[in-house]
């Protein structure tokens, strides 16, 4: 099973003037959108190109999830969403959707429709929480508070829809202790999965200028420091929540010289190991496996699965299968699943 990213031409309410302009201060979608995605091209054409890409890189993939990733992919009238989602599901060998969005871009009617789809297809909604601190959300121009995220996560879960979240570590003004406290907060939410991102300051963003003016407001993780932080975080995380990603990476050409994770990437994982992480070990990644993370597992990663990430990030689908995510496992990743997220989050 492999995710195929598409760009359906969405935007965000803090970008188009509905709630604000400029978007999130850290966001530059060009930094994580795959080259085969172009919103001016028909959805089927993007899916075909994405599958063609994955057939070369992940030859064992036979089924696909269409990943609506850039911007807020529920930010449109329901009729338009139905057209896009059903068009994607009609493509051969597509068995489900992963939909990235903001928590303030969903409502009861849209969730009811997604529930109907989930009775026949794999449907997951990923919400960009980014931070549980309202002061941080305000500073990065999210134009919503944490309460709305908590509300819609519960609404989504109550309908039996797989529910995921994104968090960014290292946002300005947050101390490591504040970031660590997030583990307890999200552990109380009915989440199936979570993706972690270390903050990467991307060229051309408002955050680039903020960092230049106030670098002391940013907690700058080293690689070793980030690993230690993640270990502590996972030790406090609800073990029923599957961890789909520990870090992201954007292409070097987009990167500000500063990188909280060290030298532009969280690298050299294949040469070593991250061990004894709370709910399960991450041992000898690259030659071994990522095992027993949360309630599920990412197993048989293959020989060098976290390698040459390029435009994307490391995502837990790969060439195997997704079996009851949240209580099951993501197995046989093969050559590794690199699924283009980058600068923190798509939403």
Q: What is the 3-state secondary structure (H, E, C) of the chain?
A: CEEEEECCCCCCCCCECCCCECCCCCCCHHHCCCCCCCCCCCHHHHHHHHHHHHHHHCCCCCCEEEEECCCCCCCCCHHHHHHHHHHHHCCCCEEEEEEEECHHHCCHHHHHHHHHHHCCCEEEEEEEEECCCHHHHHHCCCCCCHHHHHHHHHHHHHCCCEEEEEEEECCCCCCHHHHHHHHHHHHCCCCCEEEEEECCCECCCHHHHHHHHCHHHCCCCCHHHHHHHHHHHHHHCCCCCEEEECCECCCHHHECCCCCCCCCCCCCCCCCCEEEECCEEEECCCCCEECCCCCCCECCCCCCCCCCCCCCEECCCCCCEEECCCCCEEECCCCCCECCCCCCCCC
What is the reported pLDDT for 250? 83
Distance CA 215, CA 222 (A): 15
Query: Within 10 A of 212 (CB to CB), how many other CB atoms are there?
Result: 11
Examine residue 323 and state whether it is found in any structural domain, yes or no.
yes
Question: How much is the mean pLDDT over the chain?
Answer: 79
What mean pLDDT do residues 210-229 have?
95
Examine residue 60 and state whether it is found in any structural domain, yes or no.
yes
Examine residue 343 and state whether it is found in any structural domain, yes or no.
no
- Residue 99 sits in which domain range? 2-331
Query: In this predicted structure, which of 174-178, 258-262, 271-275 has the lowest mean pLDDT?
Result: 271-275
Query: In this predicted structure, which of 200-204, 223-227, 330-334 has the lowest mean pLDDT?
Result: 330-334
What is the reported pLDDT for 36? 80
Residue 342 has pLDDT above 70, yes or no: no
Residue 337 has pLDDT above 50, yes or no: no
Examine residue 106 and state whether it is found in any structural domain, yes or no.
yes
Residue 11 has pLDDT above 90, yes or no: yes
Query: In this predicted structure, which of 141-150, 158-167, 295-304 has the lowest mean pLDDT?
Result: 295-304
Identify the CA nearest to 346 among candidates 156, 141, 197, 151: 197
What is the reported pLDDT for 59? 78
Examine residue 183 and state whether it is found in any structural domain, yes or no.
yes
What is the reported pLDDT for 207? 95
Q: For 91-101, what is each residue's pLDDT tens digit?
A: 999 999 999 99
Residue 338 has pLDDT above 70, yes or no: no
The better pLDDT of the pair 258, 220 is held by 220
Examine residue 344 and state whether it is found in any structural domain, yes or no.
no
Edge-first strand order for the sheet with 274-277 is 274-277, 280-283, 289-290
Q: Rg of the Cα trace of the chain?
A: 18
Residue 247 has pLDDT above 60, yes or no: yes
Examine residue 42 and state whether it is found in any structural domain, yes or no.
yes
Residue 203 has pLDDT above 60, yes or no: yes
What is the reported pLDDT for 291? 34
Q: For 122-139, what is each residue's pLDDT tens digit?
A: 999 999 999 999 999 999
Portion of the chain with pLDDT greater than 70, in percent: 73
Q: For 34-63, what is each residue's pLDDT tens digit?
A: 778 888 999 999 999 999 988 887 778 889
Residue 326 has pLDDT above 60, yes or no: no
DSSP-assigned beta bridge partners for residue 321: 331
Q: For 55-86, what is each residue's pLDDT tens digit?
A: 887 778 889 999 999 999 999 999 999 999 99
What is the reported pLDDT for 347? 61
What is the reported pLDDT for 296? 34
Angle at 263 between CA 259 and CA 267, to 5 degrees: 110
Residue 215 has pLDDT above 80, yes or no: yes
Both tokens assigned to 163: 């529910």
For position 98, which CATH number holds? 3.20.20
The four Cα atoms 281, 310, 249, 251 give a dihedral, to 10 degrees, of 160
Identify the CA nearest to 90 among candidates 64, 109, 111: 64
Examine residue 346 and state whether it is found in any structural domain, yes or no.
no
Count of domains observed in the chain: 1
């Amino acid at each position: 099973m492999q995710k195929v990213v598409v760009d359906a031409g969405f935007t965000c309410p803090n970008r188009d003037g509905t709630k604000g302009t400029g978007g999130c201060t850290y966001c530059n979608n060009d930094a994580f959108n795959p080259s085969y995605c172009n919103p001016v091209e028909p959805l089927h054409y993007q899916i075909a190109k994405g599958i063609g890409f994955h057939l070369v890189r992940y030859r064992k993939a036979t089924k696909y999830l269409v990943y609506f990733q850039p911007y807020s992919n529920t930010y449109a009238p329901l009729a338009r969403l139905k057209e896009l989602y059903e068009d994607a599901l009609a493509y051969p060998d597509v068995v489900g959707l992963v939909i990235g969005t903001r928590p303030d871009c969903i409502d009861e009617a849209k969730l009811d429709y997604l529930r109907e789809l989930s009775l026949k297809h794999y449907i997951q909604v990923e919400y960009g929480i980014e931070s549980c601190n309202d002061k941080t959300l305000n500073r990065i121009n999210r134009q919503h508070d944490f309460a709305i995220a908590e509300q819609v996560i519960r609404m989504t879960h109550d309908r039996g829809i797989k529910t995921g979240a994104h968090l960014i570590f290292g946002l300005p003004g947050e101390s490591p202790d504040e970031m660590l406290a997030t583990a307890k907060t999200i552990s109380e939410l009915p989440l199936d999965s979570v993706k972690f991102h270390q903050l990467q300051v991307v060229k051309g963003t408002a955050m680039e200028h903020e960092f230049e003016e106030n670098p002391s407001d940013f907690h700058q993780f080293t690689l070793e420091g980030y690993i230690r932080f993640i270990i502590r975080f996972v030790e406090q995380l609800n073990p029923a929540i599957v961890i789909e990603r520990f870090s992201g990476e954007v292409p070097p050409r987009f990167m500000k010289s500063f990188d909280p994770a060290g030298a532009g990437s969280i690298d050299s994982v294949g040469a070593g190991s991250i061990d004894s992480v709370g709910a399960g070990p991450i041992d000898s990644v690259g030659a071994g496996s990522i095992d027993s993370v949360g309630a599920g597992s990412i197993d048989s990663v293959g020989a060098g699965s976290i390698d040459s990430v390029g435009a994307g990030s490391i995502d837990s689908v790969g060439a195997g299968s997704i079996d009851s995510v949240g209580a099951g496992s993501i197995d046989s990743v093969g050559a590794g699943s690199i699924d283009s997220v980058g600068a923190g989050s798509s939403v």
